[in-house]
Amino acid sequence: MSKIEEIYLANGLKLNVFDLSRQIADDTVKVEISIQTEIDLEKSYFSCPQDYNCVKSIFGDKLTYEHKMEKSFVFLENQESVREELINTFKNNSLNYLASENFPLKLALSRLKDIKNNPYKYNKIKRKLET
């Protein structure tokens, strides 16, 4: 995994673009990118302290957003252009959403919603943290 680009957004977030590509045959490669950012978890995102504490107990002080894109069976000589195509597609489709002032709030609330809607998914994590 190697960082290939940093994108600074108007809302103060920094996106890191990583190349996760790997060769899958002599002449083909799986081109994969991962776009990641972290936000600070703020109490002001939540309507009550219990919700903040719930999210913090599972994810800690920072929330990570990650988006992966991939294309398999790309000819070796085309991997650079396919990688650029994936990055440009992400930029065209997602940058405005991530650059929004409300993105950190929306991410925090979506994590809370996921915890409440899927508690079984987080029970192991909570138990592990408590021991």
- In this predicted model, what pLDDT tens digit does every residue of 111-129 receive, in sequence order? 999 999 998 888 766 555 4
Q: Who's near 75: CB < 8 A, 6+ residues apart?
A: 27, 28, 29
pTM of the entire predicted model: 0.85
Give pLDDT tens digits for 71-83: 999 999 999 999 9
Q: Who's near 8: CB < 8 A, 6+ residues apart?
A: 14, 15
Mean pLDDT, rounded, of the chain: 93
Q: Which amino acid is at 102?
A: N
What is the Cα–Cα distance from 31 to 52, expressed in whole angstroms?
38
What is the Cα–Cα distance from 56 to 63, expressed in whole angstroms?
9
